[in-house]
Amino acid sequence: MKLRIFQVDAFTDYVFGGNPAAVCPLKEWLDDSIMQNIALENNLSETAFFTKKGEEYELRWFTPEVEVDLCGHATLATAHVLFDHLGYDKDEIHFQTKSGLLIISKEGNRLLMNFPTDEMPSIEPPAVLFQALGTRSDHVFKTDDYMVVLDTEDEVRDLNPDFRILSEVNARGIIVTAPGDEVDFVSRFFCPGVGIDEDPVTGSAHTKLTPYWAKRLNKDILEARQISERGGNLTCRYKGNRTEILGNARTYMIGEITF
């Protein structure tokens, strides 16, 4: 069997920045074990697979170890492939996913993602979380991820987590965030529990970050930067139960899988 594969750098306007994702267009779904093996072979934080269903597309995402319910940067990468390489000529792309309907459109030279907002309640964190991060905070929130709010950008940048201990935390991932020096807020995202120590740029995390910072800063349009080693820039718009996230994408590679 042969499959086309694209590798796209998401949330960046240049190659070698942002978060790389692989994208595989399918005529019909493969066995889950095959898609998981492709994701493992790619060894990227996510590989996206999609099929056409009527006027919409079904979309799924796999890390090297597990399937996940939501992945922003691989959704951005998939829309980029459809618009730029597969001749998609409508204004919006509708993706049906495990997290519901995701809508992607073009806005200028960027792609606009419309995702469900994820409001996070405040919680009392387990001691292992602070032990793993090497820091403490009085502001911790949780849904499927933890979100830890620190005071400064430097504190977020200087974190050096113990990923062995962090992998014991019962969550998809751990977001750490603070006010930005040159943007509204910065963040990092750690997810060793699903096989990725640190994700370069995480669109789905911003469905949680945006409502928090929108309310704290009393503004609905926010500029954000994920300050991983590769880094990435996002514009976030708080729309109540929906969050809009804008970002660029660049194609790095086009190839073919044979198996």
The domains of the chain, with CATH numbers, are 2-116+245-258 (3.10.310.10), 127-240 (3.10.310.10)
Write the single-letter amino acid at 255: G
All residues at 6 or more sequence positions from 230 whose CB lies less than 8 Å from its CB, including other chains: 12, 16, 17, 18, 19, 200, 201
Q: How far apart are CA 205 and CA 234, in angstroms?
A: 11
Answer yes or no: are the C-beta atoms of 97 and 229 closer than 8 Å: no
Structure tokens at 73: 């940067």
Question: Of 28, 46, 58, 229, which one is the catalytic site residue?
Answer: 46
pTM here? Answer: 0.89
Q: Is 46 a catalytic residue?
A: yes
Structure tokens at 121: 């309640």
Q: How far apart are CA 51 and CA 25, in angstroms?
A: 6
Q: How far apart are CA 106 and CA 93, in angstroms?
A: 10
* pLDDT tens for the 259 residues of the chain, in order: 999 999 999 999 999 999 999 999 999 999 999 999 999 999 999 999 999 999 999 999 999 999 999 999 999 999 999 999 999 999 999 999 999 999 999 999 999 999 999 999 999 999 999 999 999 999 999 999 999 999 999 999 999 999 999 999 999 999 999 999 999 999 999 999 888 899 999 999 999 999 999 999 999 999 999 999 999 999 999 999 999 999 999 999 999 999 9
CB neighbour class for 198 (10 Å; exposed up to 12, middle 13-18, buried from 19)? buried
